Amino acid sequence: MSERARAVVAAHLFFVSEGRVLLLRRANTGYEDGNYSVPAGHLDGGETVTSAAIREAREETGLELLPANLEHALVMHRKAGDDERIDFFLRVSAWTEDPQNCEPGKCDELSWHRLDALPENMVPYVRKGIEAWLQGRRYVEFGWD
């Protein structure tokens, strides 16, 4: 008999403005360093996806978001090595200040990129998430080859 699935859950944020998305370039983390991702992070125990997204936005960009300004955009069921992951991608509809790089020890660049010209060096599943969302998909699987 196989074991029940145990998945790591994360919230990812799509800050989109004027056809551009906010990306951060990972650094000094030991995972996908040098590649672009979106602000994101794992859920803490007892935390909702919305709460995690708000916390990660504050920790990584300095922005204080309201739950009303988050829209669930996409869910991804992902295989990463021996782990299963559930990634929630949320679109941020409004914010009041310019985002800042609040984690320079984990991110060496925070910048806006055109949605139709994403950088080549992106975390692969994040690229897939953005592309699927742009195609109007709400659910996608990744890494299950």
Domain positions in the chain: 7-142
Q: Residue 92: is its pLDDT beyond 70?
A: yes
Average pLDDT, the chain: 96
* pLDDT average, residue stretch 40-47: 94
pLDDT at residue 1, as a whole number = 62
pLDDT at residue 4, as a whole number = 84
* pLDDT average, residue stretch 34-55: 96
Contact 77, 129 (CB under 8 A): no
Q: What is the C-alpha separation between 41 and 142, in angstroms, rounded? A: 18
If one compares 126 and 145, the residue with the highest pLDDT of the two is 126
Closest CA to 132 of 70, 69, 76: 76
pLDDT at residue 132, as a whole number = 98
Those residues whose C-beta lies under 8 Å from the C-beta of residue 131, and which sit 6 or more positions away, are none
Per-residue pLDDT tens over the stretch 103-142 = 999 999 999 999 999 999 999 999 999 999 999 999 999 9
Contact 16, 115 (CB under 8 A): yes
Q: What is the C-alpha separation between 71 and 76, in angstroms, rounded? A: 15
pLDDT at residue 58, as a whole number = 97
Closest CA to 8 of 84, 89, 72: 84
pLDDT at residue 91, as a whole number = 98
Fold of 7-142: Nucleoside Triphosphate Pyrophosphohydrolase (3.90.79)
